């Protein structure tokens, strides 16, 4: 059979592979002329009758586009295939409620990954729903047709449409990510609805595939699917057990089914040492039976399955049941930190957009307090239905000046591109960003209101420059940023004060907030402009950071008090 043959056999609504991908449905856009004609004025004359032609898909070119253009990072192949396996297990678990006979084989619901480092082979096995021969043709023989999408549609149309599900496949191209690293892929699958196990086999550059019955009794499985990837020469490093384990922990750590990887292990034991005794030793050994033999410690190597993932992510737990120690441990482990965070925030947002998140304020800035803010951080780990998508963002979820905030965000609603690598700009993303920013400010405000003043002093030393940048870049959040700012003043040269403290200390008839920009507290204190205000016992803020004056000028006022530069000639 020819790969993608459905593209030639269906009607003209199937599209040219070079057309833009429909991100919502994961299918290629069809003939736009038909859809526009349907909207035309009914009174207009009918278009002239012409011959109808079908789009022709060059399958090898289409495969090349999917494999080499959709994914920017080869290692995501494992994420995609594990997600497919998880979907298959989810389908079986759901269908098993109403069709218990599907679970008649007492097989644990899990995913197992085995590697052959010497031959460059990776095998991924799940005990899920499996596929019949026709499902193999429909799902693997038709590009951009998702079995998960079909299942969800059937679920939606059924009376159980309200049931919760966690299936993430929707585009129907995830399986083909296997060809990112493989020359040849063999899929052996057994559906509980079928008595026969079938084998699908395809190559990266071929325009055809084969399907046959499994006849080797040693390769039969009770139920589920086994993918065998024969890696390309340059990609055989993926057959390293340690690398596979690392990828599972990074991308699929919180998949809701156990993932086992085949790992080499070892244990120590004592063994006797056979030594040839010297002539002198022979003379001394009168009673050899009473002599203890020498031993040494050796490591015995063996291979076994090892549970690699955690199935219950911290952010899905009730915040009341999570201790501070657990939050701190999760932070250190996730972000490879050795210092505990200054603060954390665990919350769930419902309504228009539903997502869960745990955010942290680090103890120190990794770039250094004097460095320019770096917008390209890896501080926010984005998950979609517990599967890690990316930590490489450029301001989609947080503005640049809050790029120091670290955390995880998990949502079922995020609009991703087909490769699930790029967050699409949308109203949902804007709503998420707004709520994440609000929670970040609440967290920072909590530090500022702490009884231990040193906590906020530590925060300000590391991240004060970021908030000043926020005054310049984010007018909408001025009211949240301004209370967090700190300055030295003419009445507080040793300890920085907030704008709230300044306003509280203002004279009854004082209408403005006075400031002077200088290169240090000492030079600000000695400026001649300060003399008359000191005589009147008016407090003046010392703006000693180059960014301070620009930040204050962008704020313009605080609590209806205007900022006034005392060095200006028009000062009253």
The model carries a pTM of 0.75
| 236 and 330 belong to one structural domain | no
- Say if residues 480 and 440 touch (Cβ distance below 8 Å): no
| 346 and 392 belong to one structural domain | yes
Tell me what pLDDT residue 334 has: 92
Please check whether residue 17 lies inside any domain of the structure: no
- Percent of the chain that is helix, strand, coil (3-state, to 5): 35, 25, 40
User: 510 a known binding residue?
Assistant: no
Q: Which of 259, 274, 293 is the last residue of a domain?
A: 259
Q: Which of 259, 294, 322 is the last residue of a domain?
A: 259
Tell me what pLDDT residue 294 has: 77
Please check whether residue 299 lies inside any domain of the structure: no
Per-residue burial over 126-162, b if 16 or more Cβ lie within 10 Å, else e, is: bbbbbbbbebbbebbbbbbbbbbbebbeebeeeeeee
Give 123's contacts (C-beta < 8 A, 6+ positions apart). 113, 114, 115, 116, 226, 227, 228, 229
CA distance linking residue 489 with residue 472, whole number of Å: 22
Please check whether residue 502 lies inside any domain of the structure: yes
Please check whether residue 33 lies inside any domain of the structure: no
Burial environment of residue 457 by CB neighbours within 10 A (0 to 12, 13 to 18, 19 or more): middle
CATH number of the domain that residue 396 is part of: 3.30.230.80
| 358 and 416 belong to one structural domain | yes
Which residue range forms the structural domain that includes residue 544?
Answer: 485-565
User: 552 a known binding residue?
Assistant: no
Please check whether residue 193 lies inside any domain of the structure: yes
User: 426 a known binding residue?
Assistant: no
Tell me what pLDDT residue 63 has: 65
Please check whether residue 480 lies inside any domain of the structure: no
Please check whether residue 473 lies inside any domain of the structure: no
For 377, other C-beta atoms within 10 Å of its C-beta total 19
Q: How many domains is the chain built from?
A: 3
Tell me what pLDDT residue 65 has: 66
Tell me what pLDDT residue 68 has: 65
Tell me what pLDDT residue 420 has: 46
| 190 and 111 belong to one structural domain | yes
User: 84 a known binding residue?
Assistant: yes
Look-up of token digits 């109203």:
427
| 183 and 142 belong to one structural domain | yes
User: 171 a known binding residue?
Assistant: yes
| 513 and 436 belong to one structural domain | no
User: 126 a known binding residue?
Assistant: yes
Tell me what pLDDT residue 239 has: 96
| 239 and 349 belong to one structural domain | no
Tell me what pLDDT residue 2 has: 39
User: 367 a known binding residue?
Assistant: no
Would you give per-residue pLDDT tens digits along the chain (572 residues)? Answer: 334 333 333 343 334 433 333 333 333 333 333 434 344 444 556 656 666 665 555 556 666 666 666 667 888 899 989 998 998 999 999 888 888 888 887 788 999 999 999 999 999 999 999 999 988 888 776 654 544 455 455 545 554 444 444 444 443 467 888 888 999 999 999 999 888 999 999 887 777 789 999 989 999 999 999 999 999 999 999 999 999 999 999 999 999 899 999 998 888 878 777 666 555 555 555 555 445 567 878 888 888 999 999 878 999 999 999 999 999 999 999 999 999 999 999 999 988 788 999 999 999 887 655 555 565 678 899 888 888 888 877 667 889 899 999 999 998 877 654 444 445 556 778 888 899 999 999 999 999 998 888 999 999 999 999 999 999 999 999 999 999 999 999 988 788 999 999 999 898 888 899 999 998 888 988 888 888 888 888 899 999 998 999 999 999 999 999 999 888 866 66
| 322 and 447 belong to one structural domain | yes
Q: Which of 259, 284, 299 is the last residue of a domain?
A: 259
| 350 and 248 belong to one structural domain | no
User: 225 a known binding residue?
Assistant: yes
User: 30 a known binding residue?
Assistant: no
Q: What is the DSSP letter of 294?
A: P
| 445 and 501 belong to one structural domain | no
* Inter-CA distances, 99 with 13, 129, 169, 246, Å: 36, 12, 23, 37
Give 511's contacts (C-beta < 8 A, 6+ positions apart). 561, 562
CA distance linking residue 399 with residue 411, whole number of Å: 19
Total number of residues shown for the chain: 572
| 544 and 411 belong to one structural domain | no
CATH number of the domain that residue 556 is part of: 3.40.50.11260
* Inter-CA distances, 82 with 77, 271, 371, 421, Å: 9, 42, 40, 16
Please check whether residue 172 lies inside any domain of the structure: yes
| 450 and 489 belong to one structural domain | no
CATH number of the domain that residue 160 is part of: 3.30.565.10
Helical segments of 183-303, H only: 241-251, 279-284
Listed residue (324, 293, 326) closest to 310, CA to CA: 326
Tell me what pLDDT residue 173 has: 60
User: 205 a known binding residue?
Assistant: no
């Amino acid at each position: 059979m020819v790969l993608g043959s459905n593209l030639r056999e269906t009607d003209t609504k199937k599209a040219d592979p070079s057309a833009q991908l429909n991100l919502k449905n994961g299918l290629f856009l069809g003939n736009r002329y038909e859809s526009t004609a349907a909207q035309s004025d009914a009174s207009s004359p009918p278009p002239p009758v012409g011959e109808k032609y079908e789009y022709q898909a060059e399958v090898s070119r289409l495969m090349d586009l999917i494999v080499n253009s959709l994914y920017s990072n080869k290692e995501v192949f494992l994420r995609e295939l594990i997600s497919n396996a998880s979907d298959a297990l989810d389908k079986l678990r759901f269908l098993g409620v109403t069709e218990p006979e599907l679970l008649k084989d007492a097989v644990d619901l899990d995913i197992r990954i085995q590697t052959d480092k010497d031959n460059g082979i990776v095998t991924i096995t799940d005990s899920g729903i499996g596929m019949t021969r026709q499902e193999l043709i429909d799902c693997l023989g038709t590009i951009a047709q998702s079995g998960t999408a079909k299942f969800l549609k059937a679920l939606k149309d059924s009376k159980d449409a309200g049931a919760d599900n966690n299936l993430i496949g929707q585009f129907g191209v995830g399986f083909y990510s296997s060809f990112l690293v493989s020359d040849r892929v063999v899929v052996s699958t057994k559906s509980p609805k079928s008595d026969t196990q079938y084998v699908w086999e395809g190559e990266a550059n071929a325009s055809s595939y084969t399907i046959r019955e499994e006849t080797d009794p040693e390769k039969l499985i009770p139920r589920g699917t086994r993918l065998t990837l024969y890696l390309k020469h340059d990609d055989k490093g993926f057959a390293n057990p340690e690398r596979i384990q690392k990828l599972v922990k990074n991308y699929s750590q919180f998949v809701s089914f156990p993932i086992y990887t085949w790992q080499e292990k070892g244990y120590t034991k004592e063994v006797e040492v056979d030594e040839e005794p010297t002539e002198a030793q022979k003379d001394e050994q009168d009673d050899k039976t009473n002599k203890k033999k020498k031993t040494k410690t050796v490591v015995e190597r063996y291979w076994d399955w090892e549970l690699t993932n955690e199935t219950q992510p911290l952010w899905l737990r009730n915040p009341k049941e999570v201790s501070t120690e657990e939050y701190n441990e999760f932070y250190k482990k996730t972000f490879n930190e050795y210092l505990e965070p200054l603060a954390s925030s665990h919350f769930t947002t419902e309504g228009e957009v539903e997502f869960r998140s745990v955010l942290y304020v680090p103890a120190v800035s990794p770039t250094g307090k004097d460095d320019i803010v770096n917008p390209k951080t890896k501080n926010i780990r984005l998950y979609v239905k517990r599967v890690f998508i990316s930590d490489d963002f450029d301001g989609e979820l947080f503005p640049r000046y809050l790029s120091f905030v670290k955390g995880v965000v998990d949502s079922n609603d995020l609009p991703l591109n087909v490769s699930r690598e790029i967050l699409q700009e949308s109203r949902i993303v804007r709503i998420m960003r707004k709520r994440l920013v609000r929670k970040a400010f609440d967290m920072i405000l909590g530090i500022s209101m702490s009884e231990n003043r040193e906590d906020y002093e530590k925060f300000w030393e590391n991240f004060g420059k970021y908030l000043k940048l926020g005054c310049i870049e984010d007018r909408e959040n001025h009211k949240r940023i301004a209370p967090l700012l700190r300055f030295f003043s003419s009445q507080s040269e040793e300890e920085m004060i907030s704008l709230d403290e300044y306003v509280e200390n203002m004279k009854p008839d004082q209408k403005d907030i006075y400031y002077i920009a200088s290169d240090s507290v000492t030079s600000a204190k000695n400026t001649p402009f300060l003399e008359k205000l000191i005589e009147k016992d008016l407090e003046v803020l010392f703006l000693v950071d180059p960014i301070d004056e620009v930040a204050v000028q962008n704020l313009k006022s605080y609590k209806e008090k205007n900022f006034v530069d005392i060095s200006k000639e028009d000062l009253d």
